Every structure is written in C-alpha cells, then in structure tokens.
Structure 1
Amino acid sequence: MVFPFKFSKVLALKEKEKDAAKSGYNEAVQKFENAATELYVLLKQKEEFIEKKEQQIQKGVPISKIQDAERFLFSLEKSINFWQGQVAKTRRSMEIKQQLLLEKNIEVKKYEKLKEKAWDSFSQFEKKEQNQMMDEISIQQYMNRGNQV
C-alpha cells in the first residue's frame, strides 16, 4: 500500500521556498564579501599611502606633492566612506535573508515532522492489518486441519 501524506504538495512547496531563500542568502553573502573585500583593499591602500607620505615628508618633498597627496587621500576617504556604507547595507541584507532562511527551515522541519508522524501511524496501521491477516490465515489453517481429522 502507498503511503498517503496529505501535505506532500505543501512540503514540496515549502522546500522550494527554502531553496530559494538559501539561494538569496548565498547571493547576499557573496555581495557582502565583495563589499568587505573592496573596503579592506581601500583601507590597506590608505594605510600604505600614509606611511609612504610620511616617509616622503621626512625626506623633504615639495608642497605641490604634499597637496596632491592630500587630494588623493581625500578621494580615498570618500571611497572608504562609500564602501563602509555598502558593507553595512549588504550586512543588513544578509542578516535579513539569513532570518528568512531560518524561518523557511523551521517551516520545512514542521512539515517533515508531520510526515514522520503520519508515517509512524501508517506503518503501525499496516503492521496491525498484517497481524490480523496472519491471525485469520492461522485460524483458517487450524480449522482446515481440524476438519481433516
């Protein structure tokens, strides 16, 4: 006999939703990692540039070069500020998608638990029916033997 689970279509739908949420979460993680990497590169570049600038000032450098360096540093700061915003935005997005994924996982687990309970009930019912059939067969065989004697 086939196991009839009345929520099988709902379970399949919830699994698809979970897979879509997982895909969205993975995409959000990738965007966050890209933004964080870009920010890291800019911060590293700024650190190295400041060290280089300080060394040049120690050696003595024309004012025009120092002014150029300050303009570049200002531009770098603007980029860093932009990417800090991007990192914060992508982190929020990632956290929201993580929460959605968690909710979808919980929904799927609920339906899987229902399916497990339904399976247990079904298998107990099947076992009970098999035992009844075996009892009936045993009784019929006993009756047949009794009639032959």
Structure 2
Amino acid sequence: MPFNYKFDKLLAVRERQKEEALDMYNQSVKRFEETANKLYEILKKKEDLESYQSERLVVGLPVLEIRHHQQFVHNLEKTIDHYQKMVINARNQMNYYQDKLMETNTEVKKFEKMKEKSKLQYMAAEKLSEGRQMDDISIQQFMNRVH
C-alpha cells in the first residue's frame, strides 16, 4: 500500500502560497531596483549640472543663466525628494514581502518535516507488519512440517 500523507492538500496550498510570496517578493525587488536606479540617475544629473555650473562660474555666467540653473536644481531636488520617498516605500514593501516569503517558506518546511516523519513512521509500521507476516508464514510452515 503506497504512502498517503494526510496533509498533502494543505502542503500543496502552502507551496502555492510560497510561490505567490516569492513572485510578490521578486516584483517588489524589481520595483525597488527600478526606483533606486531612477533616483541614482536624477542624483547624477544634479551632480553633473552643479559641476557644469561651477565650471561656467569660473569663466563667467550671466545672472539669468544662474537663475535658470538654480530653478532647475530646485526642481531636481523636488524630484529627488519624491524618488527618495518612493525608494523608502519600495524598500519597506520589499522587506514586507521578504518577511512574508520567509514565513510561508517556514510553514512549507514544517509540513515537509511532518510529512517526512509521517513517512518514516509509515515505513516502520510497514516493516513491522511485514515482519509479523513473515513470522506467521514461518510458524505455518513449521506447523505443516510437524503434522
């Protein structure tokens, strides 16, 4: 008789939840990376602009151009603040899904461990049963020889 684990359906549900949690985690990592890269690009743009402005100030720069650059830097700083908040949110979301993934992974491991123990108990019981059957057969054969 083959081994049947009584919680197979529950284990399958937990494994499906684990796969969903892994998918959600991977999506959150991707969102975090995209947002962080966008923030990096904007920070790099601001750095380049400030470097360019410093170089231009050495040679001389019209006041109107300085105001234009300051306004542009100010707008970049607003965008940077926005993306910093987005990165923080994406990181928090990523950490949340990581915790969920670890939680579901632990649940699956518990059920797998229980299944393994149950299978070992089943195999031990089968071995004991086979031993008893062999003993019965031996006794019957012995009794047939005696009579």
The normalised TM-score by structure 2 is 0.95
Question: How far apart, in 1, do the equivalents of 2:75 and 2:7 lie?
Answer: 58
Please give the alpha-carbon distance, in whole angstroms, between the structure 2 residues aligned to 1:130 and 1:146: 24
Is 1:62 paired with 2:62? yes
**Matched residue, 2:42:** 42
Residues 1-149 of structure 1 aligned to structure 2 (within 5 Å): 1-147=1-147
- Greater than 6 Å deviation, 4+ residue runs: none
Q: How far 1:102 moved relative to its partner?
A: 1.1
User: AA paired with 2:100?
Assistant: L
CA distance in 2, matches of 1:116, 1:24: 29
SS at match of 2:11: helix
Q: Which runs of 5+ in 2 are unaligned?
A: none
Q: Structure 2 CA distance, aligned partners of 1:49 and 1:142?
A: 100
The CA distance in 1 between the partners of 2:123 and 2:30, in whole Å, is 45
Q: Aligned pair count? A: 147
Give CA-to-partner distance per residue, 1:45-88, whole Å, 9 cap, x none. 11111111000000111111111111111111111111000000
CA distance in 2, matches of 1:62, 1:70: 12
Q: TM-score, normalising length from structure 1? A: 0.93
